[in-house]
Structure 1
Amino acid sequence: MIKRVYKIIFLLSICFLYFGEANAGVTEIFGCQNLDITGETYILQNDITTDGSCFTFTADNIVLDLNGHTLTYANLDFEGAINPGFEIADGDELTPLGWDLSGAHGRAYRQDYTQRLFFDNYSLNITNLAGDAYPEESVLTSPIYLPVAGKYAMTAEIKGGPYGAFTSHLEIEGIDVTCGNEISNMHLSATTDMSWGLVCEFDISSPATVRGKVVLGTTDNTKTTSLSIDEVDIRPIGFSGVAISGYNRRMAEIKNGSIIEGRSKAIYSPAIYKTSAVKIHDLNIVTNGINSPNISEYWAGGMEIYDNYMEANGKLPLNRQYAFSMIDLGATDGGNKIYNNTLMNGPHVGISHGGGLSARSEIYGNTIKTRVNATNGFSISAGANVDIHDNIIDPIQGHGIGLGRDSDNTRIYNNIIKPKSWPCSEYSSYGYPNSAHGIRIKNYGSGILENVEIFGNTIIGSTNPQLNNCYTEVSGITNYLGDDSGGGVSDNVKIHDNNISVTTDNYLQQHAMAYKTQGQGEIYNNTFESNHIILDMSDGDVSSATQYKAFDSNTLIKNSTPQAGFYTIRYGYNFPGDNVFSNILLQGGADLNDISYGINNVGRTYSDVADLSVNWYVDFLTKDSFSNPLVGVSVSVYDKDGILAIQKITDTKGTAFDALGEYIYSYKSSAEKGFTFESPYRFVFEKSGYKSLTVDSAVDSSKKISVTLVESSSLDNSVYLIENITYNPFTLDYSAPEVPQGLNVF
């Protein structure tokens, strides 16, 4: 009987294993298709190439194993416009090859970088004169053959003016179509004088030859309007390598192979699109079109993205205010891990991780070498509730890490970041240069940040050679965290124990600031080094200046190869005030009195007083004649005018501590400036039953005053010893502890 029971159990086990295995089946695949069996593992058996999209999944928990093979999508044999960036002249330097300028009535010409720079060396200018008989001007691309039915898009980078007077839009000639923006969600027209991207999406039902048209108009015929355009082209739009069909589905895994965007360089054509895959790993992912992400998982959470190599070779972001990202989790609810990936060449954002309100995420161990071409493009752009650590961020050009108004509960630590200046695609003036930041915090005057900590990072900034009219800057950390317009103040923002060095080889054209600030937060225990400006305390970006900020126990270093325009501190457009420098270590010739006034150090006159205070820490140690700590000793501190400044009582260890001011330096103009000294001080030590002691000392560095008080009956006198010390009141262990999943506060 027992043997029979064992036999039944054995047979049931075999059946369970057999049917369990069958339920989680394996399907070999040989070409592009729908993936529609829940829980299935699909294994690719060969390389595949398609003119359009490839895999679409319509069921949950699918595994796609590329099995070492290559999927090439968007590989339509297609040639776009001739000379889309106006780099090639036709006969004379003012005429671009392949373009029809007749619709501009002689008012369009090819311009070089000395007039308006977008990308590379040339762009095109179009002008509409005030009172002109022509309501608009236009230019046409070369004829472009669209070989198959489907969706295409014309795109252009533009910048025009004056604001409110000019208009611009795109048209398609050769067929009757209406421009749309369903896929790109980009602008169909523009009136702003900022750098902008325009789009015209359209469908064709059969092959056609078309030309793209860029139109400049005016809303005020009394004003002359102008438009600069660059990178104008028509391309297919809206393909993908692997994508969802429908909503609320989730893949289990995508792994082990290559996903490559092909020769048509289709725009808005991600390699992986909204799969919500739990794991994406061991892939080689390359995109070649404008705004074509490698992994686009905007709303997804709970993902692991690891051990991938990615390239994004599209030349530019279509619009810098609509971020293109190589890994896009821009509205994720969190719980993600992104690690051990290599990201190359992306022209805007490397990793975008927003939201994060449900669970904590982690970005670590990645190597990122992006090629930023526009403002707002960062190697990592982070929202709330994320740890960013132990990454190597070494952009070809551009920024490191960016935090915005919603980046609460975020920590950035132990990263190596190497920001580098980038060409002037937007701004190019000396007072308002293109900026490259190692780390930037900015709330745009709206919203507050809470619980942000930046520590233990090594930031090495440098400038790349630029064209003559291109003014750029590089900064280690830029803190634009201003007061909220509604009156809110950011809380618990700490920047500490970072090592920052920035250099330039041409300060007249390319600025270098170790720390650029007008923002809130605690700034302590950092090392800031520069050969141009160490601390920039007033900037033009938000028309404000550093007010009521404390710089504590930081080291400021004048680089060993200083530029002729070196200054320890720069006051810019506005007047920094009531800032306190405590326990500052100066090296290499750095000096807190070495200040540049105005952007060009022109001796600017401010509307109010700009000032700073210099403080030092003083440690008091009191003992009796037997070297026992003396508790309850009164320490009275008088300033140079004999006014009681502070009074302290020693603790059970016989110690007391405080910060004392050396001087206040004030500046309004070259005729209204000067020092107000508080040092030297008189220290009076008193305790009942002991002989009192008076010590006079200058406070021009942090000091330790050790005192031995003798009993009143003693024939000996009380004695003291004063030592200059390198004082560090912050002894925090900043190695990162484990953070439980879902924790929203530190």
Structure 2
Amino acid sequence: MKKFLFGWVFFLGLLLSLSTERVHAAYDLGTKDMAIGAGVAAVEKPARAKTVNITAPGTLNQSDTEYVLMNDIVANGTAFTIQGSNITLNLNGHSIVYLNQNASQAYGVLIDGAARSNIAIVNGKITQGGGNCSGQAGVGKNCNPIYGFETFGLEIGGLEISYRANNTHGIFLHWGKSAHIHHNSLQDLGTSVTDRHQGIDAIRAGNLSGSRVHHNIVKTRQVGIRIGTNGEIYNNEVTINSQVTNSVGLSIQSGSIHHNKVHGYGVHPIGIWPDHDAKVYSNYAEVQNTKSGSEYGDTGAACLRMTWGTGDNSEIMY
């Protein structure tokens, strides 16, 4: 008999009482209708000494400069390459289309080089064009809306991002520290996942410490938001259109996950997957297995998953 499709609904929250010996916070219950304020909003940009107006794709390499886009642009390959630090790319409400022709590599915004610091990309739209491109096997780069090799203090805010390339992360920050990703919308319109163990993430900053990701709306084919140690994920709304096993809404190595909403359907949606030294509270997750997978058939769904050997020193608060 075919196994039935099933889903779990969890409400994650905690109410801690006050103690005369230790001070505790009071955590509210995560609910389906809680207001979290996720979505695109114009963000304040850092002050720079110089302003340069731009009207076409190109390389941005002047330090302490705000580059202001004056019109919509379409690029056959990469739209903008940032080569330097202390640079702002202000899309100024305009749209950039990248990868409008087939290419082996093409980015919306490429932050090129190591040890790039104090960069901001804000306030506009980044859309994959009509060309095709496939992400590097086992890595997920080459065709990303935003890619940074090594960044420190990067801010990404006020953006509407959509893409569909095979095996490609959306915002992919490879190395660095202290990313701040907020008030964006990311729409992963693709379905291809060649290696589900690699993971295909809408926001991937798994090797960065001290990152904050909040007030984003995310739709993903596998993983919604993944960050590293000492991070914080809050006030996001994530939808998982699961194509493969282990499709996760929110993932963190250590830190906190709170006041998020996760909805999932498809092969094997999982709401939240913390690693170690994590606090998970005041979230709402609703996931359901609605499709058989090629790997295990009807895999099921889970609002929270922790595997043997992980989860040390974590607190999961219902």
TM range (shorter): 0.7 to 0.9
Amino acid aligned to 1:322: Q
Bigger Cα Rg:
1
1:33 aligns with 2:33: no
Cα root mean square deviation, aligned = 1.8
Native 8 Å contact 2:91 2:123 kept in 1? yes
1:282 aligns with 2:152: no
The match for 2:75 is 50
Native 8 Å contact 1:287 1:312 kept in 2? yes
**Unmatched 5+ stretches in structure 1:** 1-21, 79-235, 457-746
Q: 2: CA distance between counterparts of 1:411 and 1:323? A: 23
1:24 aligns with 2:70: no
Indicate the structure whose relative CO is greater, using CA pairs within 8 Å and at least 6 residues apart. Answer: 2
Q: 2: CA distance between counterparts of 1:282 and 1:441? A: 33
Question: Alpha carbons of 1:319 and 1:448: their partners in 2 closer, same or farther (altered >3 Å)?
Answer: closer
Deviation of 1:417 (Å): 0.1
Q: 2: CA distance between counterparts of 1:53 and 1:383? A: 32
Amino acid aligned to 1:301: K
1:258-310 Cα shifts (integer Å, max 9, x gaps): 01011113222111101635211000011111122221013232111111011
The match for 1:455 is 317
Question: Alpha carbons of 1:26 and 1:340: their partners in 2 closer, same or farther (altered >3 Å)?
Answer: same
Question: Alpha carbons of 1:237 and 1:424: their partners in 2 closer, same or farther (altered >3 Å)?
Answer: farther
Map 1:429-444 onto structure 2 (within 5 A).
Answer: 433-443=298-308
Native 8 Å contact 2:115 2:176 kept in 1? no
Could you tell me which of 400, 409, 426 is aligned with 2:277?
409
Native 8 Å contact 1:290 1:316 kept in 2? yes
Question: Alpha carbons of 1:449 and 1:428: their partners in 2 closer, same or farther (altered >3 Å)?
Answer: closer
1:391 aligns with 2:260: yes
Q: 2: CA distance between counterparts of 1:316 and 1:382? A: 24
Q: 1: CA distance between counterparts of 2:48 and 2:195? A: 47
Map 1:91-490 onto structure 2 (within 5 A).
Answer: 236-268=103-135, 269-274=143-148, 276=151, 278-332=154-208, 334-344=209-219, 346-354=220-228, 356=229, 360-384=230-254, 386-397=255-266, 398-403=269-274, 407-428=275-296, 433-443=298-308, 447-456=309-318
**Unmatched 5+ stretches in structure 2:** 1-46, 136-142
Question: Alpha carbons of 1:364 and 1:25: their partners in 2 closer, same or farther (altered >3 Å)?
Answer: same
Question: Alpha carbons of 1:395 and 1:318: their partners in 2 closer, same or farther (altered >3 Å)?
Answer: same
Question: Alpha carbons of 1:348 and 1:47: their partners in 2 closer, same or farther (altered >3 Å)?
Answer: same
The match for 2:21 is none
Q: 2: CA distance between counterparts of 1:283 and 1:58? A: 21
Map 1:343-742 onto structure 2 (within 5 A).
Answer: 343-344=218-219, 346-354=220-228, 356=229, 360-384=230-254, 386-397=255-266, 398-403=269-274, 407-428=275-296, 433-443=298-308, 447-456=309-318
Q: 1: CA distance between counterparts of 2:125 and 2:148? A: 18
Q: TM-score, normalised by structure 1?
A: 0.34
1:692-725 Cα shifts (integer Å, max 9, x gaps): xxxxxxxxxxxxxxxxxxxxxxxxxxxxxxxxxx
Native 8 Å contact 2:278 2:311 kept in 1? no
Question: Alpha carbons of 1:260 and 1:23: their partners in 2 closer, same or farther (altered >3 Å)?
Answer: closer
Q: 2: CA distance between counterparts of 1:302 and 1:402? A: 21
1:343-369 Cα shifts (integer Å, max 9, x gaps): 02x111011113x1xxx2110000001
Question: Alpha carbons of 1:250 and 1:381: their partners in 2 closer, same or farther (altered >3 Å)?
Answer: same
Deviation of 1:251 (Å): 4.4
Q: TM-score, normalised by structure 2?
A: 0.78
Deviation of 1:245 (Å): 2.1
1:90-136 Cα shifts (integer Å, max 9, x gaps): xxxxxxxxxxxxxxxxxxxxxxxxxxxxxxxxxxxxxxxxxxxxxxx
The percentage of aligned residue pairs carrying the same residue is 27
Native 8 Å contact 2:211 2:227 kept in 1? no
Q: 2: CA distance between counterparts of 1:272 and 1:23? A: 22
- Equivalent residue pairs, number: 261
Q: 2: CA distance between counterparts of 1:337 and 1:239? A: 27
Deviation of 1:448 (Å): 4.8
Question: Alpha carbons of 1:23 and 1:49: their partners in 2 closer, same or farther (altered >3 Å)?
Answer: closer
Deviation of 1:428 (Å): 4.6
Q: 2: CA distance between counterparts of 1:247 and 1:309? A: 27
Amino acid aligned to 1:321: H
Native 8 Å contact 1:41 1:65 kept in 2? yes
Native 8 Å contact 2:144 2:171 kept in 1? yes
Deviation of 1:395 (Å): 2.0
Q: 1: CA distance between counterparts of 2:165 and 2:310? A: 36
SS of the residue 1:401 aligns to = strand
Q: 1: CA distance between counterparts of 2:310 and 2:304? A: 17
